[in-house]
Chains A and B, each alone.
Chain A
Amino acid sequence: MVTTTEHTQSYPGLPTESPLGAPLDWAWLRGARSEWGVRPKPGPRGLTMLDIAVGSYGDVPEHPGHRSMAPRGADVGDDTADMGYILNWKTDMWSDNVIELYEEAVGRQWSATRDIPWGELRELPADVEHAMCQLCTLLTEVEMIAADLPAKWMWRMNHDFIEAKMFLCTQIMDEARHAEVFRKRALANGGGLLVSRAGPTSLLRTIIEAKTYTQASALLHLLGEGFVLDIFRMGELIAPSDVEKRIFRMCMQDEARHVAYGTMHLRYAIDHDPDVAEEIHEALDHGEQVLIDFGTAPDVSTALAVLLAGGVEHVEDKGFPLSMELTKKQLTSYLARCERAGLGRLDRTTIPLDMLGIDTEPIRAAGTAAPR
């Protein structure tokens, strides 16, 4: 490593005081204790955060020696203010894919104003419009938890983990856009926001009140967002027109990033501190119960079933059976991600797997998948 100390000239004759008599500090010019001349090269995409993770700048410490907002790699003064961070271990929030996910998030932003063909909305049967507005009411409500939760914890994260904090900033932007797009859809086609009941609120409180960030991440990224991701995937069947399909597809891409971060954060945390697995299990023991209450809440399940059936007429012979299939997919995906994260839940969960007809073999296989 070449430091600025070794690479700078002495610049003799510089003043020691400003014209107003204030002392001047030329340490940044005469030689700081930081790496100089790393010259990262841009790749085909430009200069990415992965490209600049070189030399000492790419070393993310397991446990930073200070708690200031000084950028990692800088020459930090001893008198720098302590920001009072409480998440000071890399295992507290890191994931091995977080830098890649940050770049992906920045590169795949979209606009709920511009990128949805709002002008193509057409009048829908009243029952379908009501169901769509009810689903949008719910999604507008629950999406913002995935902004509030990282916001609650980010200012507590040590600044040396800047890439993780930057990724969480993109998640907050994503969720703002999701709340925006579903609120717009509720209002844009002659309907409006409909009912908000206790079921979702219980889930949201469980997430926001989690005692540790890692528990919160398990509840939010793995459980809650994984559940919503599958609703977005089902948008192909739920959406009454191409406008809603477009909304669900765009949101799906964002949501999958958040799930990917959470899954690999939990994996990282457990790999480096196996004891943390039990506290995550405890959070999910409770979270799964609350999620089932949320998923079976009468207002949520009926709106989804009506959309899946294309109206109230076939809600019983088509809507509810398809809704059951959705539930199976959601729970299968969730349990597979748990395995991938190093959290085998199959022998612990109280979800009635047999009753739901969930095949556990592919779920177990996910735990032995090669890392990517």
Chain B
Amino acid sequence: MSGAVDTVGFFDALATEMNDHPERFAPLGEAEMTVDVVMGRPGGDFRVRVAFESLGCTGVAEVDGQGSPGADFGLEGPLEAWQEMFDDVAAHGRATGPYTINSLALMGDRICCRGDDPMGLDKFSRFNQTLQEFLDGASHLVVGAS
């Protein structure tokens, strides 16, 4: 495992998991999106930008707190909410019930999907199952908070 969920190392590990297993993503088809994941925590939020292209994850990079432009949409919530989601993934092999990213963003009370541009926001729907499969990759990692 590559450390806690609020680290670049964790998302690097998810990217490696995706890139090592294209067979999981091929049935879903290619995806083109850039997502900012924001985890609120004491002492400063953790923000990481994850880029997807074709059947792979092509970039993971920590970004500053100013919401630098370039992402299609952002997924924002407290660290505890993200931790619960990844715990559910680890327990069941994939996100279940209220812990799918679509469920969480739909309710928006714990993790919300943000973006100024409806075209960017719609990519959350267009590539939703690819994003879910990427997050479900955590089932192959041991997860905890830093």
Binding site for B on A (CB under 8 A): 44-45, 97, 100, 103-104, 107-110, 115, 229, 232-234, 236-237, 245, 249-250, 252-253, 255-257, 259-260, 263-264, 333, 336-337, 339-340, 365-366, 368-372
Shortest B46–chain A CB gap in Å is 24
- Contact between A104 and B29, CB atoms less than 8 A apart: yes
- Contact between B69 and A108, CB atoms less than 8 A apart: no
User: Which of B10-18, B80-88, B115-123 is the interface stretch?
Assistant: B115-123
B72 at the interface (CB under 8 A from A): yes
Our pick among A100, A108, A115, A369 for the contact of B118 (Cβ within 8 Å) is A369
- Contact between A372 and B117, CB atoms less than 8 A apart: yes
B54 at the interface (CB under 8 A from A): yes
Shortest A220–chain B CB gap in Å is 16
CB closest residue in chain A, given B54 = A45
5 residue pairs, one from A and one from B, having the closest CB atoms: A108-B29, A369-B117, A256-B125, A107-B29, A236-B103
User: Which of B1-9, B35-43, B60-68, B126-134 is the interface stretch?
Assistant: B126-134
- Contact between B106 and A234, CB atoms less than 8 A apart: yes
Shortest A122–chain B CB gap in Å is 15
Interface size classification for chain B: 20 to 34
Shortest B132–chain A CB gap in Å is 8
Our pick among B27, B119, B127, B132 for the contact of A372 (Cβ within 8 Å) is B119
Our pick among A45, A253, A365 for the contact of B126 (Cβ within 8 Å) is A253
Q: How far is the CA of A103 from the CA of B98 in the complex (A)?
A: 32
Knowing A104-B126, A252-B125 touch, does A372 contact B118 (C-beta < 8 A)?
no
Shortest A10–chain B CB gap in Å is 45
Binding site for A on B (CB under 8 A): 27-30, 32, 53-54, 69, 72, 98, 100, 102-103, 106, 115-120, 122-123, 125-129, 132
Knowing A237-B106, A253-B125 touch, does A260 contact B119 (C-beta < 8 A)?
yes
Q: How far is the CA of A264 from the CA of B126 in the complex (A)?
A: 15
The 19 listed contacts between A and B (C-beta, < 8 Å) are: A44-B53, A104-B29, A108-B28, A108-B30, A109-B29, A115-B27, A229-B125, A237-B106, A249-B102, A249-B128, A249-B132, A253-B125, A256-B123, A264-B119, A333-B118, A339-B118, A340-B118, A369-B120, A370-B69
- Contact between A259 and B122, CB atoms less than 8 A apart: yes
Q: How far is the CA of A100 from the CA of B30 in the complex (A)?
A: 11
Q: How far is the CA of A20 from the CA of B122 in the complex (A)?
A: 60
- Contact between A236 and B102, CB atoms less than 8 A apart: yes
CB closest residue in chain B, given A259 = B122
Q: How far is the CA of A357 from the CA of B116 in the complex (A)?
A: 20
- Contact between B119 and A340, CB atoms less than 8 A apart: yes
Q: Which residues of A contact B103 (CB under 8 A)?
A: 236-237
Shortest A106–chain B CB gap in Å is 8
Shortest A127–chain B CB gap in Å is 21
CB closest residue in chain A, given B26 = A107
Q: Which residues of A contact B98 (CB under 8 A)?
A: 236
Q: Which residues of A contact B29 (CB under 8 A)?
A: 104, 107-109
Q: How far is the CA of A240 from the CA of B129 in the complex (A)?
A: 19
Q: Which residues of A contact B69 (CB under 8 A)?
A: 370
Q: Which residues of B contact A368 (CB under 8 A)?
A: 116
Q: Which residues of B contact A109 (CB under 8 A)?
A: 29
Q: Which residues of A contact B102 (CB under 8 A)?
A: 233, 236, 249, 252
Q: How far is the CA of A232 from the CA of B98 in the complex (A)?
A: 16
Our pick among A249, A257, A366, A369 for the contact of B129 (Cβ within 8 Å) is A249
